[in-house]
Chain A
């Protein structure tokens, strides 16, 4: 797979057709969960795909289309370490994608009184 430019990545992210993610291959959620840990995704993106400000964005219920997701993994446009197919095969990527895409939704902030009560308004 060729490295996508930032512009094409942005196109991918913004394209309604791809956002529907019709082309994502079938993935094994259970195997994806296993590899999310063993392949070290959680180290930067958090256990449960929550993301962290300094290290990696949220992956839980990602809006990334699969094509952009695997491209970021193979040819990261940022400081993310690259994962080649010899280390994480395409099928495992699909499994991880299925796992993070289907993680349970978090509560919205407005439903969490502790967050709404925090200082800065």
Chain B
């Protein structure tokens, strides 16, 4: 633009500041008491506004609108990733992107989901991915949003779940407005969470955004999967994008690789070791991510006629299969002469235990000479700081490969090696059939002990619930460990989507948020009845999930296991009090959630969900569950508050 001596928009604002400053200086001088200089008799200076009005012409004003921006291109990039949802609590650093998603992107693929906390956004994506089998996206405000989301990201990292994370920053310093934009800007948007994400980038051009986002998706879904994070620069989002600049941009083809499989020589050795064993045991941990994974585990177990211990970090083994012996874990590990561990989270813990007494001691659970085989991607993603890698434990054969992708080849190798042993295997299988028969009987006997108790027991809850939903296509959204794990003991769990394991990182607050995301995936799958049993302490970390569920019409049954405490911590403090010989009566201080008791049903109603309870009498349970299930089938999110035993 030629220098005409006229003011553009920025020059106008600068002039206004100078003029205002000059005016203040004159007044200050007048109040100082110094002798006043004689004033020249002349007309007053024009105000900046007058000056601008006289000298600027509308045609020379900087453009105030545009038809396409960098954020539109970013949406084009994201649309190539087959993302169904973007969960977010709003934040100004990504205002350009949000507007582009909902208008330019027509709020489809991905659809924007409104969450009331970033921990909810990320936790939803965590639960969703475990049911849908693909990542969902979550957008976090610059700095503060990422800080809010950090624990949920950590849970997903520990649980090896892929999430497409986005955050943003306000752009270069000369463009930032004073104040808040600086607070929410960051040199390195991923630094807060880099210890527990797989990869991140802060692209400084739109082309770089396209390539980095595609790379991030590929890395997130490669085994072992994990969250990845892209920082969307504010200036890139909001910069006008003309046709010429658009033509230069390309969106790369998404690269989805096959997963790592064990080498054939190692598999042959594994097969020989398993076939030669008298008491082989298969332990499946974070193993199956699909129905095919479950089916192959059954095939391997049948090929060997070996019992399977499902550690329930995923839905690995049908509870109705006669080789599912999870309830006999201690005895089987103790007797085993060969253990095959599939995707172990903690191999040391599978073989040893450490007491929680004043002097900690460790004890071997398995035989000293047991042969250990591990197939896992664990060693492909270990970081130094956070200690989720667990204690080092060596295996006789340690295979770094994806267990699910490897299993078909291992089955083939076992079948090839086992010809001479088939009759031995059949005899072993017959014994295991007999042992299996007693497992459910013992579970029923255990359940009977607590059936009539008050407060209500987990056994009663799951028995009443089964009676109501047994003809539905139900699925659990939570692990239910603290209510006795009755679904794995007495329910026919046969489909992979019926169970998604637990949080991974034991960050409290996972249950309500992951349940919401998993329920969303079940809704889209059609016709399923999602059920979550959520601890009251866990629920209190993210009660706003119910509003998101109501707003986006995500039906699920949220049963609050209300023991009115952070009960794990009650027991910890009780343990310390006993250890110090001080009595346990004060263990409730800082651990219980009483006085006043929280009315969870009212809370749910306030967020727009159906709220039922509190239910304190076991005789009222069936009616409450019937009402709740009916409302879920009608499309409502439902909370039932059940006052329950501290555990089990």
> Which positions in A face B, CB cutoff 8 Å?
38-40, 42-44, 46-48, 50-55, 58, 60, 76, 78-79, 81-84, 86-87, 106-109, 112, 114-121
Contacts and interface: CB of A to CB of B under 8 A. Distances in A.
A43 B574 contact: yes
Contact of A38 (B470, B585, B647): B585
B218 interface: no
A35 B256 CA distance: 62
| Dominant SS among interface residues on chain A | loop
Interface stretch (B238-246, B477-485, B544-552): B477-485
Contact of A43 (B443, B447, B452, B567): B567
B642 to A, nearest CB: 14
Contacts, number: 140
Nearest to A60: B449
A118 B463 contact: yes
B362 interface: no
Given A40-B574, A82-B579, A118-B466, A109 B457 contact: no
Given A38-B585, A55-B571, A117-B467, A46 B451 contact: no
A119 B474 CA distance: 13
Contacts of B645: 46-47, 50, 52
Q: Which of B356, B454, B646 has the most CB of A within 10 A?
A: B646
B647 A55 contact: yes
B490 A46 contact: no
Contacts of B567: 43
A52 B279 CA distance: 30
A87 B492 contact: no
B440 interface: yes
Interface of B: 319-320, 355-357, 439-441, 443-455, 457, 459, 462-464, 466-467, 470, 481-482, 484-485, 489-492, 567, 570-571, 574-575, 578-579, 581-585, 587, 645-648
B341 to A, nearest CB: 22
| Dominant SS among interface residues on chain B | helix
B579 A46 contact: no
B202 to A, nearest CB: 44
B451 A52 contact: no
Contacts of A43: 567, 570-571, 574, 587, 646-647
Given A82-B357, A117-B470, A120-B490, 20 more contacts: A40-B584, A43-B646, A46-B453, A46-B647, A47-B646, A50-B453, A50-B457, A50-B648, A51-B446, A53-B446, A54-B482, A55-B571, A76-B357, A109-B441, A114-B467, A115-B448, A115-B490, A117-B466, A118-B466, A118-B491
Given A46-B457, A51-B449, A119 B466 contact: yes
A54 B449 contact: no
Contact of B448 (A38, A82, A87, A112): A112
B22 to A, nearest CB: 74
24 contacts: A39-B584, A40-B584, A46-B646, A46-B647, A47-B455, A48-B450, A53-B446, A53-B485, A54-B647, A54-B648, A79-B355, A81-B579, A107-B452, A109-B441, A112-B448, A114-B464, A115-B490, A116-B444, A117-B466, A118-B463, A119-B466, A119-B491, A119-B492, A120-B440
Contacts of A121: 440
B451 A115 contact: yes
Q: Which of B447, B448, B466, B481 has the most CB of A within 10 A?
A: B448
B447 A109 contact: yes
B463 A115 contact: yes
Contacts of B647: 43-44, 46, 52-55
Contacts of A109: 441, 444-445, 447-448
B490 to A, nearest CB: 4
Contacts of A46: 450, 453, 457, 645-648
Contacts of B449: 50-51, 58, 60, 106
Nearest to B582: A87
Contacts of A115: 444, 447-448, 451, 459, 463, 490
A43 B647 CA distance: 8
